[in-house]
Homo-oligomer: A and B are copies of this chain.
Amino acid sequence: MVMVMSVKSANANHVFRALADPTRRAIFEELTRQGEQTVHALTRYARVSQPAVSKHLTVLKRAKLVRHRREGRETHYRAQPDALTPMVDWLDRYGAFWRDRFDRLEDLLERMD
């Protein structure tokens, strides 16, 4: 059982709260799928104004779910899935993992090709 713990994970509270909003989840999903993105690109994707996107990114940042990298006049954001650990841990404790164990294992093995 390897315990990595590279960065101190944000409060579980922050993670749960950050992902409670659908727009924020959409942004995080987009970053996960498409990789690093400019605020401009994210604004085009999300159907809200640029300041709204900026504020959402701030919340995601607080939860450590995204990192940013300034490059000239644009800021590139990328997802930081490590930060989901508190949520995964929570689900380990209170979740339904004990059920479909076999299904999940099967599924896991399948995806490991």
Contact = CB atoms under 8 A, between A and B. Distances in A.
A55 interface: no
B103 A96 contact: no
B108 A104 contact: yes
A47 to B, nearest CB: 16
State the copy count for this chain: 2
A109 to B, nearest CB: 8
A109 B4 CA distance: 19
A65 to B, nearest CB: 10
A57 to B, nearest CB: 16
Contact of A17 (B20, B100, B101, B108): B20
B81 A88 contact: no
